[in-house]
Amino acid sequence: MLNIISTVSAAAESRDWYDALVAINPATIVFTLINTLIIFLIFRFFLYKPVCKILDKRREMAAAEISDARKAKESAEKAEQEYTQRLADAKNEAAEIVKQATLRAQKREEEIVTEANRKANELRAKAEENIERDKQRAINEIKDEISEIVVMAAGKVVEKEISAKDNEEIISNFLKEVGNAQ
């Protein structure tokens, strides 16, 4: 560098300063190459290696983040599959519960209908039994009344005395005839 300055000052005195600046000087080339090499080594040692280390650390951090993101994505997909499976299981279980409830309701309905029919049949049988008993009672009352009427009518018609045995026999015959007529 000093060499250039001295050359420029010498050329300035001679007015050949332009030629001195443009001329190829091997000493200047060597000096420039050495300066460039020193600057390169300084940049390499103080700038390139730390920057490479920072870039490597950044690359490792990015790779770790990508790995974590992949793991998180896989975990989320697994959780989604589990959720989907649980949801499907819950739907199936709900459908089964509804099906069981429907079957129980139908069974209970059949039991209620069967019980109602049984009670209705019992009531009908009791009613028919009561009707038959009332009918027999009415028939017996009518027979008793008819017997009394027949005895009175027979006594007046015949105007003779009938023994109790004859009276019973006449009444029984009359009742048989009246019973067959119905």
Residues 6 or more apart whose CB falls under 8 angstroms from that of 109 comprise none
Which of the pair, 129 or 177, is modelled with greater confidence? 129
**What is the pLDDT, as a whole number, of residue 118?**
92
Tell me the pTM: 0.39
- CA 120 vs CA 51, 115, 126, 129, 132: distances in Å: 100, 8, 10, 14, 18
pLDDT in tens, 75-120: 999 999 999 999 999 999 999 999 999 999 999 999 999 999 999 9
Provide the total of helices (H) and of strands (E) in the chain, helices listed first. Answer: 5, 0
